[in-house]
Amino acid sequence: ICSGKVYYDLAAARDEAAAWDIEILRVEQLYPFPQKSLRKRLAKTPDAEIIWCQEEPKN
């Protein structure tokens, strides 16, 4: 799960690795957080490992 333009980097890396078993979900609106729709979507893959990815500027 990610938000913003990092989605395109993740999708490109997945495609390059041909890792078709990896699904990337992009949250476009963080407030109000789409809790119900995200839960509904995640319920379709109950055994999935869930990771939140976000961009961070260099420190």
If you write DSSP's letter for every residue of the chain in order, what string do you get? -B-TTHHHHHHHHHHHHT-TT----B----SS--HHHHHHHHTTSTT-----B------
- Retrieve residue 11's tokens: 């999708």
Rounded to the nearest integer, the mean pLDDT of the chain is 92
Measured between alpha carbons, how far is 50 from 46 in angstroms, rounded to an integer?
10
Query: Is pLDDT of 13 > 90?
Result: yes
Instruction: Output the pTM of the full model.
Output: 0.79
Measured between alpha carbons, how far is 18 from 31 in angstroms, rounded to an integer?
33
pLDDT of 41-58, one tens digit each? 999 999 999 999 988 866
